[in-house]
Structure 1
């Protein structure tokens, strides 16, 4: 993949992006530019798995899908890879999920990438019409749930250790920070 990335001239198209080889790094497409980050840490992946284990039965009960680290097309040329998404039932063999199929997107905040999750992606997800955005702090497991209002998110709830986030939409689930981070 390295030769393909560094030998490329000009903005990236979706077709060029999708033709890249698989890699251990996360490669996202934002308006013709690639955003490359290292593979997530074991702590990040542990949180993702534990959160997925909580949300998956709730998604299935609601007739929805829980997916991890998939391409989500927010609009042409804008394809992030969220940590977790809850979607309508989708074709599991397609390379991308469309934003209008996504009900909730979750990002586990990496210290080296916090501004991308808290600002850039938050703005992009809201503009794409995704109803709910959940942010998880890696160190503490603290949860911040945002609900879309117009083209922006407003904070719906903040949950710290010793408290519980009770999701009622788009699925019913209870998440405790200490269940995600020991």
Structure 2
């Protein structure tokens, strides 16, 4: 892994293949949405933040295990409510700002579109890794709230705790902290019972 930044976005731990790096190196100036989408599928997770690209390595097996188990729980709760559970999709918060959350619960959307509009997202979930903690706890939290997404769920791999936030104006307010041995009882936007020990080995 190498530390790298594309554009003006703060430095984070990333993994960049030579092919992907060559594409970045040959680009001048801020990235547009059109240029970002033209990258197509990449080995890394590439997000667009106000003209700059944020590149992260493939998730660890632990991260993916948490994502799958939490996704299964949320999907089972979303379907009866007429909602969708989607994993690692482009969410357009505003022009030029396109993160890829770990999980989202959305209203019914066109599954063939390249991006999901933030207005359709009811809950966004990020699984915190040591390399992206600041991004998920500060930057993305601010961006998701500013885009009007009502609920934000953070799962911390190291502490095995879950933090649930609800939007209040342009910011999030923490509604609950669930530790191992405790239970998170979601009532909005879906009804689900989630235990940290069921997610984090």
TM-score range, shorter chain: over 0.9
Match of 1:91 in 2: 110
Match of 1:9 in 2: 28
Match of 2:86 in 1: 67
- Structure 1 residue 24, shift from structure 2 partner: 2.0
1:101 aligns with 2:120: yes
Match of 1:139 in 2: 158
Task: Work out which of the residue numbers 18, 22, 47 in structure 1 matches 2:66.
Answer: 47
1:110 aligns with 2:113: no
Matches within 5 A, 1:113-132: 113-132=132-151
Separation in 2 of the partners of 1:157 and 1:132? 12
- Structure 1 residue 181, shift from structure 2 partner: 1.2
- Structure 1 residue 4, shift from structure 2 partner: 1.5
Q: Show structure 1 runs of 4+ deviating over 4 A.
A: none
Q: TM (normalized to structure 1)? A: 0.98
- Structure 1 residue 141, shift from structure 2 partner: 2.8
- Structure 1 residue 21, shift from structure 2 partner: 3.4
Separation in 2 of the partners of 1:141 and 1:23? 30
Contact 1:131 1:147 in 2 (8 A): yes
- RMSD of aligned alpha carbons: 0.7
Task: Work out which of the residue numbers 165, 185, 189 in structure 2 matches 1:170.
Answer: 189
Task: Work out which of the residue numbers 19, 24, 32 in structure 1 matches 2:38.
Answer: 19
Once the two structures are superposed, residues 104-127 of structure 1 have per-residue CA deviations (whole angstroms, 9 ceiling, x without a partner) of 000000101100000000000000
- Structure 1 residue 44, shift from structure 2 partner: 0.4
Q: Tell me, which stretches of 5 or more residues in structure 2 are unaligned?
A: 1-19
Match of 1:78 in 2: 97
SS at match of 1:111: coil
Contact 1:140 1:177 in 2 (8 A): no
SS at match of 2:132: helix
Separation in 2 of the partners of 1:162 and 1:21? 42
Which segment is superposed worse, 20-29 or 94-103? 20-29
Q: Tell me, which stretches of 5 or more residues in structure 1 are unaligned?
A: none
1:154 aligns with 2:173: yes
Separation in 1 of the partners of 2:145 and 2:25? 31
- Structure 1 residue 140, shift from structure 2 partner: 4.0
Q: TM (normalized to structure 2)? A: 0.89
